[in-house]
Chain A
Amino acid sequence: MPDATDNLTIDPRLLQRLKGVELRSRFLVRGLYENRHRTKDFGASNEFVEHKSYQQGDEIRTIDWRAFARTKRLYVKRFEMEANMKVHLLLDTSASMQVPASDGRLSKLDLAATIAGAIAMMAADQQDSPGLFCIGDQIDEAIPACQGKRHLALLFQHLGRPPGKGGGDFGALAWDAMQRIGRKGVTVVLTDALDDFEPLFETLKGLVVREQDVILLQIMDEDELTFPFDVMTEFRHPESGQRIMGDPMQLRADYLERLEAHQNELRTFCDQHGIDYLRIHNGDDLITLLSSHFLHRLARGGARC
């Protein structure tokens, strides 16, 4: 593994658990290099696909001589071609992600950076090309997908110092980033998805149209989900600065109800558009959650292919 962890601390246990999980695209990807990802193209892998009547130009070595012996006709064996994959990470670095968490937990931004780093490292480990877009009040960083330890170190350097400022229009800025991603690949969106859904949904739909395998990781703070406050509290929005003082005991029920409706809407959208959705908060057991999610994802992907 590269020495890129100097700037981003990732739990070694997480990496250990993710190491055995192959990040595979549920769609066929086209890569510059043969890799373990399946594509529409046939290649020289060990995965047999079908027999095809021999046509002129086919390689002689692909002829299935046993089939010829049985049928007196020439057939060639076709195998899957394994290709490398571009994995783009769209990381929301707005101020809402930078809210410090209580009880020593990671902030949402730190948690997202950690997850992004883990995915990048996993991708690099299987010869894929991770890329990164840090999106705050603008696209702060845009690192194209590439292979190599040096690239991974650069990527980790930026993940270790996410800006955590501004924000408010992640969906629109992600649309801009999408224009640079191109077709086919895996796009992992790490955001709290608390802004208006419309631009975000448009971006996600655009990614799907571009045959991207979209993984939406909604990063939340545990306090945002449970609203555990019980004394008179003044709440402040980290981006707009809006302040509200009230009794949490009175506010809690309605708050949780609205939050749940918001979550449901997001979940429904993802289900309808085949977007892989996972909500993670900073109180979760990250290792278990991520590894099990990718295992399930692998299982689902296998079934569809």
Chain B
Amino acid sequence: MLNALMLLGLFGLGVPVVIHLINRQRMRPQPLATLKFLDQKDVANAFAPVPRDLLQLILRLLLLLLFVLLMTRLVGPGRTPGPRSVAIVLDNSMSMQRLGTDGTTSLFELHRARALELVRGMNPDDTFSFALVGDKVFEHSGFTSDAALLEHAVTNAWVSDGGGRSLMAAVEDAVRELRSLRVPNPAVLVFSDQQRSNYATQLEALTAGGGGTEASMLARQLAGSRVKLVFVTDPLVEQPNVVLEDAEFYPPATYLGSSSKVTARLYNGSDTQQTAVVSLQSGPVSVGSRSCALAAGETAQVELVRTFDSPNDSAWGVNVSEDGFVADNDTTTIMRMLKRRQVLLVAPSRYPEPEGLSIGTTGPDLFSLAVNPSQVTGETAGETFVSVKRIRPAELESRALSMYSMIVLYGLADLPSPKCSEDLVEYVRHGGGIYIIPDAEVGSPSFNKTFEPFLAGFQLGDILEPVGGQAIDGDENRVADPLLHDLLRGEWGTINDLRIARYFSTGAEGELVAALRTARGDTLLGVASLGEGQVCIQTHSWNVDDTSFPRSLCFVPVVHAIIDRLTGANDAPPARPDAILVGDSHRLALAQFRGLGGEVILKGPRDYAFAMSPEDEHVTVKDIYVAGAYRVTHPGKFAARERWLTVNRSTSESDLTVAGADDLAALCGGREVVAASDQLDGLFSRGRELYPLLMILVLAALLAESLGSVFGRRKGVAHEPAA
């Protein structure tokens, strides 16, 4: 009986009885002058039940009864199972990649094949639904009799690298839907490895509730329901498992030709010692490996070093040798390549460039040497990732300033043209850095006038030549900018011996933020912001006659600190590469696709597309449930710099503890709910819904009742005696 609630309709049987009784009560005496012609035998039985009325009453009761039974949807015995209404829930979490007993086929494939077999064996009056569930419901067909649609859905089912957090909710939904549908032979088949973490929340709630089944939503739904819930479990191969928890490069970004170290963290989840081989892979090619022995339950870190000889960002795989659970054997990480920085040094002709590989002693020469000694000396040693391009002021107009990370204006009192000044201002406003170094040949008024757009109100005063040189103020509280705090703290050597023999006094401080001062308080180095870029102004030159800095150990760090500051705004690598876990959402900054709009395509193990607004340079990626390295592309810009996004598995999914039959039974209110996949055939009761038979009976009863009424009325006029 599929709709027992309709049995309430049996109360309606009282209606014809009551009507019958009322009709008897309301029987008004019919005056009949010919009463003497009535048969005395019938008169004697007048108060006995009258067969015709009784028959009519019985017919009406039978009609009502049959109608109620029709509405209750009776199921009678039959030779074939069904009609069946089955909700197939297939777990596609990462743990389903465990191998079955044959050692070659994953549990997911085994269960998918079993589900496919069920779908292909559907009878025409069966209705099935298929749900592919992991951390979310990836596929839900709804209840249908279309076997082809279901077969397509099952065939295309895929296994994710996420967990099974939504499995229990999907099972509850399926049970609830089957309850509400009131369908024959209802069953929910959960094809899963029954990983305990999938049911952890509900099991913990049961434990917290004292073990009572009333705590389980599923148990409440199943109570009093005909829905059969079966957790399909199949035997698994128990093999030792070494989990590769994560792996990442340090530093996460580097320059072309330099190296980085990848650190992989391993965990031996088995009870015995295991030896794992960790390898770093570029695509399918292994570029380095190390072996590591782990005791039972031990966690270890394995480091591999790699030198990067490609200018492009790249995705690297790290994996461990095959074990009992291959799904957690690999991870991916990204190496971002930093661009070399190029400094444009503009110095007047009074600073001739040294010929050949000789080393000059002028301020610009010493600055160049500090920036990249290898470039000046022509030797490999001392190579940095900053190169210096030295030009005359007249060449400034012909240079594409945006190609340079920063510009050093050394000893300049004038610029070649006003347009040159405007170009420099635009350069800074768009994130460039300018380092202005006046020397003793520069007049303050002329300097102040020429560089007025960059000085932020700062003005040079008179040139000072204190006797014995001016010492550096070592109090870091007197400088607002922390640029040279390491210098003041003596990190780069003592500053007591440092002397400034010639420098410009401060005419006006303006909005310049001092980073270095003399002992008498004059600003030696200050930083001002202009648009997105910065301007650094130094009130003394690097000429050896003017300062003792070039002869000190702190000269190179100071120069590189200033370069890092002025180039950082333009070419700073992100703090960390774009790396997420499966199912996470992440806001990806894609300046190179700014203004394009459309869709950003992530190409990897599966392709994903995410909409991008033309007004925004960010795109939010989410719902990626297949781990791997994804290349970020845009159909509208093929030549953009490569960007990568890595999606890795959560280590919690490597906990392969299985919920026992008792646990599952407790979740379902004590029902026996576990069965192997080859035991499903006996699950469904054999029978057929009786509605065709009941419908015929209802119609027959209706016809008999109608004929009885009509015949009764006609019989009344059929015996009129002849006049």
Contact = CB atoms under 8 A, between A and B. Distances in A.
A239 B276 CA distance: 119
Contact of B33 (A99, A231, A246): A99
A256 interface: yes
Contact of A279 (B36, B717, B723): B723
Interface in A28-63: none
Interface in B21-35: 23-24, 27-35
Contacts of B28: 234
A96 B33 contact: yes
Given A230-B715, A232-B27, A246-B45, A99 B32 contact: yes
Nearest to A94: B33
B716 A252 contact: yes
A232 to B, nearest CB: 5
Given A249-B52, A251-B42, A221 B27 contact: no
Interface string A208-233: 00000000000001011111111111
B712 interface: yes
B381 interface: no
Contact of A229 (B29, B30, B52): B30
A105 interface: no
Interface of A: prevailing SS: mixed
B357 interface: no
A255 B29 contact: no
A232 B50 contact: yes
A231 B30 contact: no
Contact of A225 (B24, B46, B720): B720
B416 to A, nearest CB: 123
B715 A252 contact: yes
Contact of A231 (B31, B36, B42, B53): B53
B266 to A, nearest CB: 94
Interface residues on chain A, size class: 35 or more
Contact of A244 (B27, B35, B721, B722): B35
B358 to A, nearest CB: 135
Contacts of A229: 30, 716
B715 A259 contact: no
Contact of B719 (A194, A227, A236): A227
B497 interface: no
Interface in A44-89: none
Contacts of B30: 229, 233-236
A154 interface: no
A258 interface: yes
A137 to B, nearest CB: 15
B38 interface: yes
A277 to B, nearest CB: 12
Interface residues on chain B, size class: 20 to 34
A170 B23 CA distance: 37
Nearest to A256: B719
The residue among B24, B33, B35, B47 with the most chain A CB atoms within 10 A of its own CB is: B33
Contact of A226 (B36, B43, B713, B717): B717
Contacts of B52: 247, 249-250
A225 B721 contact: yes
Given A236-B29, A246-B45, A249-B712, A259 B34 contact: yes
The residue among A97, A243, A246 with the most chain B CB atoms within 10 A of its own CB is: A246
Contacts, number: 122
A166 interface: no
Given A235-B29, A247-B50, A256-B721, A194 B39 contact: no
A234 B33 contact: no
Interface in A180-227: 192, 194, 221, 223-227
B11 interface: no
Nearest to B27: A234
A99 B719 contact: no
B720 A255 contact: no
A160 interface: no
A194 B45 CA distance: 25
Interface string A242-284: 1111111111111110111011000000000000000100000
Contact of A232 (B39, B53, B713, B719): B53
A107 to B, nearest CB: 10
Contacts of B723: 225, 279
A192 B35 CA distance: 13
Contacts of B719: 226-227, 252-253, 256
Nearest to B56: A231
B37 interface: yes
Contacts of A225: 720-721, 723
Interface string B39-60: 1001101110011110000000
A150 interface: no
Nearest to A239: B33
Contacts of A239: 33
B47 A245 contact: yes
B37 A255 contact: yes
The residue among B34, B50, B720 with the most chain A CB atoms within 10 A of its own CB is: B34
B37 A237 contact: no
Nearest to A244: B43
Contact of B24 (A192, A232, A252): A232
Interface in B203-248: none
A100 interface: yes
Nearest to A226: B720
Contacts of B27: 232-234, 245
A228 B32 contact: no
A144 interface: no
Nearest to B718: A252
Contacts of A194: 33-34, 36
A238 interface: yes
B37 A259 contact: yes
Interface string A89-130: 000000011011000000010000000000000000000000
B32 A248 contact: no
The residue among B35, B36, B53, B720 with the most chain A CB atoms within 10 A of its own CB is: B35
B39 A99 contact: no
A224 B34 contact: yes
A225 B38 CA distance: 13
Given A99-B33, A225-B720, A259-B37, 5 more contacts: A230-B715, A237-B36, A243-B29, A246-B50, A263-B721
Q: Which 10 pairs from chain A and chain B are nearest by CB?
A: A96-B33, A236-B29, A258-B37, A245-B46, A237-B35, A247-B50, A228-B716, A235-B32, A254-B39, A260-B721
7 contacts: A96-B33, A236-B29, A236-B30, A244-B35, A245-B46, A246-B46, A246-B50
